[in-house]
Chain A
């Protein structure tokens, strides 16, 4: 065993975050740590990384008990962590980011940049990566930034590598690549702890799987002896429907009609070209596409967050091209954003304020300019009950909640009230199985209530499971609209990757 954690217990006021957790990781093993958000995975890893001190239990490295005093100490002992949100400085180069905190000196004053660059190049080359150490990290894609994080760990001679939800923001292609990297590291004898709540990923890449629920280890599995249903049940503590029962949909009249719209990105390049589609009442229209094919800009333009260069958008026959977010909200448009920290929640604000973020200005939450704290509090507590938001109280800052619960805050706010159109932009990104199930059910319920739903997702499975019709977006165009019941993963995946044949793409672009 390279690493053993024995009987780790960590209590926070009112909560036992880790309750006697045992974890043993061998060299040359990918050990998956599976659990819902808030199950205690991060606490355990923070303890391993010296960011938190356990109340009970011990950590053994190579069989010797150690006390890890902080991240620097952890790194010195060969433990490195790749965080879900990368700890990179965008304006610094690859080499500078890797050196940060452990700078090789040519002499007491100057950095030995040449030697560092050489080593980084060699390290990269050993994986077959052509990486220029002088590239600013900010100009790299998410996938490459992650590789920089991994190189950083290897550069510091890590033996135990912890990856916290490494695939959360990767495309399927990038995910495959990172798995190859992990397998490669395994064969070289590294011990890898892979934190995730994506069941199929864990089954694909892990050698052993430890499942944590509510601070305890509830089971340990080998991929060959388990399956997704088994893992999900362990993780959630009850039987979980992994595929939502979407039932019959009964589409009505077209509610949202988008015709010929063109949208530009921040740099003024047109990234949405002449897109048409309609979403009917009681229907889920999915937009599938690899991230970066104009979906973000399309969604923002529909919500009044980005101007529409050409074309029209109508909602129930009303022209709403370029309408303000508030006007759209008043017309019954709800929005669950992909990046909830950006548009979804104000992390420092209490749940009360977050839950009435769209409605703060009118009765009963405000009379004239005066906010009614009682009404806001009552409303918040209603929503907290109704949407099962797990929070100690309505006044805690949203930032103290787990990701799944933060997303529930957004869902509660946006799903409540008189809805006509719901825009769901990657509504379950980074969420655990239980939260995903919850959000999918809520979406289906809204569909059955006659709401038109536009679902944008890079998760192919999500689009296929929920949608009635699927528009595949490729390079700023909707290249084809498919009937979800008469298509399959392969067809949609191929269209996502290639946009179909070029001639066909042009024809379909206007269909």
Chain B
């Protein structure tokens, strides 16, 4: 079940053993280091394997592109990827900018996993949040930034939360599975954005269907060319969500409902209310991601907004094992790959889409954990990605009354 991540919580409570007793299983007395390693083993293995698969693809495709086989191509490409993402100040800033929406939306998916919910709807919540932020951004163009920015960001948060509330409510009171409802709501969100940005809020004198450019509500740049203040939102959200999950009674309730809804009910918790609340918090985070991206990066809302942040967030949450700190690092990794992709294309001639391939392969190996465990001889119980259970759990389940 839940993967008991290493937190200061476990640190503080680590007591010397009370009694050494023969048990039919090895006791859970593992050093913190071993526990941490065990938790990291699978994600790390998946990343390594993905890089290897990526290398094979590059070498195999090099005759098609260049006419010769170049076994060194992957090294050139990965070196460029690293150089582009962390090799310069602007590269680092760009990595942070790219990681920001991934981390925020990743938290939206991760908190769902903790409650036993598979929130595929981060994409829709992201879009609706971005749309609402853009709408407030253009309508507050007359206000000073000190007002325009909070209003616009808040609009994104509220819209996202509301968009998360809906599947939560449906799950709690009708048993409608969140996977089904959130997928459908993703399509609804796409259409809502298309309508609003090409209809009522379509900008004048713009070449394609989009809103006006956001002016006063645009997030100020703090560092480099585009290091906007939204980076800080993610930096704050990670510890806040971690605190919520592992330090607060609400987080305890969320985790209990996720791990054992029946026990939660007997302990006096209210699974229905918690499902609704968790989905709303998830929507809030994804909505914030959307608002940040639109106000900080894009500068307007296009009617046909091509993004996959909400889906990439699922990969981020899985790679981060649904733990806020893990999600932070997974988001940074994916952000870095996006930031470095351009240089990789220039220096090695590998298209930027290679990054999506790597990401997909990582996800594949996380899902097909048995393969990874076999390849790396990982036998330890508890090494599996518990979140997969949430994903693969059957649809027939009923919410505890």
Give A residues with C-beta under 8 Å from B: 12-17, 37-43, 214-215, 303, 305, 324-326, 329, 335, 337, 342-350, 352-353, 357-358, 360-361, 366, 369-371, 373-374, 376-377, 381, 384-385, 389-397, 399-402
Contacts and interface: CB of A to CB of B under 8 A. Distances in A.
A393 B16 contact: yes
B14 interface: yes
A329 B268 CA distance: 8
B267 interface: yes
11 contacts: A17-B22, A38-B21, A39-B22, A41-B24, A214-B22, A325-B265, A347-B259, A348-B2, A361-B249, A377-B12, A393-B28
A393 B4 CA distance: 15
B297 to A, nearest CB: 34
B200 interface: no
B43 to A, nearest CB: 19
B249 A15 contact: no
Given A325-B267, A357-B263, A395-B14, A14 B27 contact: yes
Contact of A346 (B10, B24, B260): B260
Most buried by A among B18, B255, B386: B18
A400 to B, nearest CB: 4
A42 B24 contact: yes
A401 B386 CA distance: 20
B27 A377 contact: no
A324 B29 contact: no
Is the interface on chain B under 10, 10 to 19, 20 to 34, or 35 or more residues? 35 or more
Contact of A305 (B247, B250, B265): B265
Interface in B230-259: 247-250, 252, 255-256, 259
Nearest to A358: B267
A214 B268 CA distance: 38
A251 to B, nearest CB: 28
A444 to B, nearest CB: 25
Contacts of B256: 346, 349, 353, 357
Contact of B260 (A37, A40, A335, A347): A347
Contacts of B267: 325-326, 357-358, 360
Choose among B2, B25, B255, B256 the residue with the greatest number of A CB atoms under 10 Å from its CB. B25
In the A-B complex, the 10 residue pairs with the smallest Cβ-Cβ separation, listed nearest first, are A326-B268, A396-B28, A348-B1, A12-B26, A392-B29, A42-B24, A400-B28, A392-B17, A390-B21, A392-B27
A39 B395 CA distance: 40
A374 B12 contact: yes
A214 B21 CA distance: 8
Contacts of B9: 373
Given A14-B17, A305-B265, A395-B10, A348 B25 contact: no
B262 interface: yes
Nearest to B14: A395
B397 interface: no
Contacts of B260: 342, 345-347
A285 B2 CA distance: 39
B207 interface: no
A38 B18 CA distance: 16
B394 to A, nearest CB: 9
Nearest to B15: A393
A196 B252 CA distance: 37
B36 to A, nearest CB: 14
Nearest to A329: B268
Contact of B13 (A303, A395, A401): A395
Contacts of A399: 1
B252 A15 contact: no
Contacts of A342: 260, 262-263
A17 B22 CA distance: 5
A369 B249 contact: yes
Given A352-B13, A360-B249, A394-B13, A13 B26 contact: yes
Contact of A381 (B10, B15, B265): B15
A261 to B, nearest CB: 18
